[in-house]
């Protein structure tokens, strides 16, 4: 029996029907309509407000009245190179680099075990353990670390019980990394940052190590390569994209954070605190905008270097 024998009603027309047919025939138009709202939000609301704020960096502040002088000038950007302001930039980049290096050192063996030796049940527990700290409040974790790092906190108590109190006091007496206690030092700040951002390093590294072919490691061993040589010539180059991906997270997150330095650390400002202070109590919007340009430029340089060394080739 043919379909023609059925007395089926003809499809009704109308505006919605015509619109539906048009979208089905033109898939790209449908995709554009679906992407248009988020693109408008990103382009106009987020990027628009960001560029307007960054554009304030070409203006200056009148030191007598405190008002913004809306005449293009490079004086505000040049002010970044004053010793006090440039120290803030160097301090923040140094802390971000230290946190990134420490996260990479800690994450690699954990990720390597999970990728190479962990079974399905152990791997499920691994993902749960890595992700669980991300479920709790950011502020709760920071204040918890402040209590741990305090002079009478758990870390100091454990050090005393293990006979390491003298070593801890010696470390805290050092000029740059030390302070009255771990909670008022760069060491404590780096430890808190490392704890917060470590999952963002572990997961990309573990994903990259999952893609390393086991037969390449076995072949290198069969050819007589020592474990250190295998790591340097086979494992690390193939896992480098994952390390770089994790470094992008840890470096950029540390570069722009101002809450951890506000709660844990010394009175010396970092970039996030400088922007927060200048656009708030100080009311110096042009200099705050100039400081906001620094993380963008630093990350652009970081990504450019990573691309030139081939870190993104295997992504």
- Residue 313 has a pLDDT of 60
Is there a domain that residue 171 lies in? no
In-domain check, residue 274: yes
**CA gap 98, 121 in Å, rounded:** 34
Domain for residue 66, yes or no?
no
In a domain? residue 37: no
Taking CA atoms, 6 is separated from 1, 9, 12, 29, 129, in Å, by: 9, 9, 17, 35, 62
Which whole number is the average pLDDT over 93-120? 91
pLDDT tens digits, 250-268: 999 999 888 999 999 888 8
Does residue 105 have a pLDDT over 90? yes
What pTM was estimated for this model as a whole?
Answer: 0.82
| 258: containing domain | 75-125+199-308
Domain containing residue 302: CATH number: 1.10.3720.10
Q: Identify whether the C-beta of residue 174 lies closer than 8 Å to the C-beta of residue 207.
A: no
Whether residue 239 is contained in a domain is answered as: yes
3-state secondary structure of 152: coil
pLDDT band at 145; cut points 50, 70, 90: very high
The count of structural domains within the chain is 1
pLDDT at residue 99, rounded to an integer = 95
**Domain presence at residue 9:** no
Q: Could you tell me the sign of the dihedral formed by the alpha carbons of 134, 140, 144, 150, in that order?
A: positive
16 domain residue, yes or no: no
pLDDT digits (tens, 9 = 90+) for 2-47: 545 555 554 555 677 777 777 677 667 777 778 888 888 877 887 8
Digit-coded pLDDT (tens) for 222-253: 788 888 888 888 888 888 888 888 998 999 99
Instruction: Answer whether residue 186 is part of any domain.
Output: no
Instruction: State the pLDDT confidence band at 91, using cuts at 50, 70 and 90.
Output: very high
Residue 102: pLDDT band (50, 70, 90) is: very high
Taken in order 17, 22, 27, 30, the sign of the CA dihedral is: negative
Amino acid 177: pLDDT: 85
- What sign for the dihedral angle of Cα 135, 138, 141, 145? positive
Q: Is the pLDDT of residue 283 over 80?
A: no
Quote helix, strand, coil % in the chain, to nearest 5: 75, 0, 25
């Amino acid at each position: 029996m043919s379909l023609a024998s059925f007395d089926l009603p003809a499809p009704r027309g109308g505006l919605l029907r015509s619109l539906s047919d048009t979208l089905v025939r033109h898939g790209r138009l449908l995709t554009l309509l679906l992407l248009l709202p988020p693109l408008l939000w990103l382009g106009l609301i987020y990027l628009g407000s960001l560029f307007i704020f960054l554009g304030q960096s070409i203006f200056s502040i009148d030191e007598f009245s405190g008002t913004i002088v809306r005449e293009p000038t490079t004086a505000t950007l040049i002010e970044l190179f004053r010793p006090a302001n440039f120290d803030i930039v160097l301090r923040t980049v140094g802390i971000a680099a230290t946190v990134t290096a420490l996260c990479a050192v800690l994450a690699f063996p954990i990720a390597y075990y999970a990728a190479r030796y962990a079974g399905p049940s152990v791997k499920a527990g691994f993902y749960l353990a890595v992700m669980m700290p991300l479920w709790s409040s950011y502020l709760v974790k920071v204040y918890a670390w402040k209590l741990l790092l305090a002079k009478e906190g758990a870390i100091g108590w454990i050090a005393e019980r293990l006979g390491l109190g003298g070593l801890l006091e010696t470390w805290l007496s050092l000029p740059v990394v030390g302070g009255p206690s771990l909670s008022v030092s760069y060491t404590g700040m780096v430890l808190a940052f490392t704890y917060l951002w470590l999952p963002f390093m572990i997961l990309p590294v573990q994903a990259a190590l999952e893609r390393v072919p086991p037969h390449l490691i076995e072949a290198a061993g069969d050819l007589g390569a020592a474990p250190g040589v295998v790591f340097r010539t086979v494992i690390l180059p193939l896992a480098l994209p994952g390390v770089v991906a994790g470094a992008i997270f840890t470096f950029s997150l540390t570069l722009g954070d101002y809450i951890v330095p506000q709660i844990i650390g010394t009175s010396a400002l970092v970039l996030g605190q400088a922007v927060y202070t200048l656009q708030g109590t100080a009311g110096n919007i042009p200099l705050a905008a100039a400081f906001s340009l620094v993380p963008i430029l630093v990350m652009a340089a970081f990504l450019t270097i990573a691309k030139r060394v081939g870190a993104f080739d295997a992504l």
